[in-house]
Structure 1
Amino acid sequence: MRSLSEILGPVMIGPSSSHTAGACRIGKISSIIVNEKIKEVKFYLHGSFGKTYRGHGTDKALVGGILGMNTDDERIVSSIEIAERVGVKVEFIERDLGNTYHPNTVRLDIKTISDKNFSIIGSSIGGGNIEILNINGKDVYFTGKYNTLLINHIDKPGIVHKVSGILSNNDVNIAYLRVFRDRKGDKASMVFELDDIVNEKMINDIRNIKNIEKCVFIEAMK
């Protein structure tokens, strides 16, 4: 059974929960994943996003999210001008990303001030709900509804146990856990969706585990 919030969508700047609220959330989560000042973003807009992004405000919502705005932030309507003022270059490109993706999908190719490059694919599936599906060419899956830990690591025995132990020792409950890898012993990703907040000490403890390369915490979307 769907909740009222899933049907009506979040408190937001309109006109559409899927084309604006969802787009804003994809942008904001992408900025958290990057975790560094952004200087350039190319938005590759798939399906309905590509056909209607100007009329539905998807372009402004995506940029607002990249700048850290929430769905109800009145500055979203001026987000592209704000991005220009603060030195963030944005470009919108209609692109077929393949028939496996939802019509409201976008790939964000992001460059940071230190010239690091990120590529993130997210879909807005209705009612402001989203799915993050790919980060830097690697498949992932999370929705932003839960507090989320994204962990990049080398696929070695015991890493899941060690991270879970830190969470358990701090009374953090795991709602969902997914592990993604291409090959045994290669680079892998873990996604922990949690019922509780993770503090900075816990994040540092996780980062100090051998063979963990990166750990990012994303607080549940409001």
Structure 2
Amino acid sequence: MNIFDIIGPVMIGPSSSHTAGAVRLGRVVNKLIDERPLKKVEITLSGSFAQTYKGHGTDKALLAGIMGYKSYSPEIRDALSIANNRRISYTFKTENIKGAHPNTALIHYFLEDGSEGSMQGASIGGGNILVNRINGMNVEFNGDANTILIMHKDTPGVIASVTNLMHWEYESLNISGFHLSRDEKGGDAIMTIEIDSNPPEQLISDIRGIEHITNAILIRRV
């Protein structure tokens, strides 16, 4: 059981779902960006998020999380002006995302180096979140565990290479969750691996060195 389930999150703002959960969704994007300079974000809000985001400060909370602030950071109140000062362009729009949870945000980000990506997730209550799409592909994690996202080509042996590396070189790590998503057989794919403990950065470098893997990102607990 998450501590949020017992006492609720430590947070700035009126709503655990619309504020604390929104910050945590933004923080997932912050981890995906991995300290690279951010140029622009386009945020689509669906369901209840779309209806009440200004009154509940969801817009500020998402943007604060994207910039790396936490649910209890006082900077949340000034997130829009902070983003302006950092010359980060941002837009918010509302749209009914079919089949999405009522508190869903789709965040498309653009970096100074020309690269871009997207994350879709939902605030599901009590400050808890569920991330269900990265770069358009299905994933499933909640940010409560250290999570490794591995982008790769859907090629035989890639999963075995990753799990064998973790078993033989990092035997103290315990995998608590695994999910695989792919566009099509032989196409782009994403492995999502959740682990109980805090992995060393070297693990990510080692994974990136495996053939057919295009990138690996460690998302520490958000």
Report the TM-score range of the alignment, normalised by the length of the smaller protein. over 0.9
TM superposition shift of 1:94: 1.1
Unaligned 5+ runs, structure 1: none
Unmatched tracts of structure 2, length 5 or more: none
Map 1:112-123 to 2 at 5 A. Answer: 112-123=111-122
Structure 2 counterpart of 1:90, one-letter code? Y
Distance in structure 1 (CA, Å) of the matches to 2:49 and 2:6: 20
- The residue number in structure 2 matching 1:83 is 83
Distance 1:148 1:3 in 2: 16
Deviation (angstroms), 1:9: 2.4
Q: Match of 1:27, as an amino acid?
A: G
Percent identity for Structure 1 against Structure 2: 40
| Structure 2 counterpart of 1:79, one-letter code | A
Contact 2:4 2:128 in 1 (8 A): no
1:43-66 deviations in Å (ceiling 9; x for gaps)? 111010011001111011001001
CA RMSD of aligned residues (A): 1.3
Instruction: Measure how far apart 1:3 and its partner are.
Output: 4.9
Runs of 4+ in 1 over 6 A off after TM superposition: none
Cross-structure match for 1:150: 149
Task: Check whether the contact 1:7–1:127 (CA below 8 A) recurs between aligned residues.
Answer: no
Give the aligned partner of residue 24 of structure 1. Answer: 23
Post-superposition Cα deviations, 1:104-141, rounded to whole Å, max 9, x if no partner, equal 00111111111222121110000111111111211111
**d(CA) in 2 for partners of 1:67, 1:187:** 28
Q: 1:4 Cα shift? A: 5.1
- TM-score w.r.t. the length of structure 1 is 0.94
Q: How many residues align?
A: 219
Match of 2:40 in 1: 40
Query: Which residue in 1 is equivalent to 2:206?
Result: 205
Contact kept, 8 Å, 2:154 with 2:188, in 1: the verdict is yes
Structure 2 counterpart SS, 1:91? strand
What SS class does the counterpart of residue 31 from structure 2 fall into?
Answer: helix
Q: Report the AA paired with residue 162 of structure 1.
A: S
Three-state SS of the structure 1 residue aligned to 2:189 is strand
